[in-house]
Amino acid sequence: MPDHHPGPTHPAGPTRSTDPTRSTGSARPAGSARSVGEGASYDHRRVGRELGLFDTDPLIGAGLPYWLPAGAAVRRALEEYVRDAERRAGYQHVYSPVLGKRELYELSGHWSHYRDEMYPPMEVGAEQLVLRPSLCPHHALIYRSRGRSYRELPLRLAELGGMFRSELSGVLGGLARVRAIQLNDAHIFATVDQVAREAAAALGMIRAAYAAMGVVPVRYRLSLPSEGGKYVAAPRLWERSTALLREVLDGAEVAYEAVAGEAAFYGPKIDVQVADAAGRESTLSTIQIDFYQPERFDLRYTGADGEQHRPVMIHRSIIGSLERAVAFLLERHGGALPSWLAPVQVMILPVTEAELAPAAALARRCLEPEVDLRAEICAPDRGSLGARIRAARHVPYQAVVGPTEAAAGHVALRLRDGRRLAPGPAEAALRAIRAAAASQRAQPG
User: 10-residue block means of pLDDT along the chain (445 residues)?
Assistant: 36 35 34 42 88 95 96 96 96 97 93 88 95 96 97 97 90 90 96 95 95 92 81 78 91 90 83 84 91 94 97 95 94 93 97 96 95 96 94 95 95 92 94 93 76
Note if the bond before 235 is cis, omega within 30 degrees: no
- Residue 258: beta bridge partners? 222
What pLDDT, on a 0 to 100 scale, did the predictor assign at position 159? Answer: 97
CATH of 346-441, one of 1.10.600.10, 1.10.10.10, 3.40.50.800, 3.40.50.970: 3.40.50.800
CB 213 within 8 A of CB 184: no
CB 167 within 8 A of CB 178: yes
What CATH superfamily is the domain 45-333?
Answer: Bira Bifunctional Protein; Domain 2 (3.30.930.10)
CA distances from 62 to 52, 170, 325, 328 (A): 19, 9, 19, 19
Residues of the chain with CATH 3.40.50.800: 346-441
What pLDDT, on a 0 to 100 scale, did the predictor assign at position 113? Answer: 82
Can you spell out the DSSP letters for 297-325?
Answer: TT--EE-TTS-EEPPEEEEEESS-BHHHH
What pLDDT, on a 0 to 100 scale, did the predictor assign at position 63? Answer: 94
Rounded to whole angstroms, the Cα distance separating 352 from 42 reads: 35
* Helical spans, DSSP H, in 161-269: 192-213, 235-252
- Residue 156: beta bridge partners? 188
What pLDDT, on a 0 to 100 scale, did the predictor assign at position 41? Answer: 60
Rounded to whole angstroms, the Cα distance separating 124 from 252 reads: 49
Residues of the chain with CATH 3.30.930.10: 45-333
Q: Which H or E run contains 382?
A: none
- Residue 130: beta bridge partners? 100
CB 239 within 8 A of CB 184: no
What pLDDT, on a 0 to 100 scale, did the predictor assign at position 192? Answer: 93
Task: Give the dihedral sign, CA 349/355/359/360.
Answer: positive
Q: Which H or E run contains 129?
A: strand 127-131
DSSP 420: B
Rg of the chain on CA atoms, in Å: 25
What pLDDT, on a 0 to 100 scale, did the predictor assign at position 171? Answer: 82
Rounded to whole angstroms, the Cα distance separating 288 from 342 reads: 31
CB atoms within 10 A of CB 409: 14
pTM for the model: 0.86
Strand order through the sheet with 312-317? 92-93, 155-164, 180-190, 312-317, 281-290, 269-275, 219-224, 256-260
Half-sphere exposure in the Cβ direction for 443 (13 Å, CA): 21
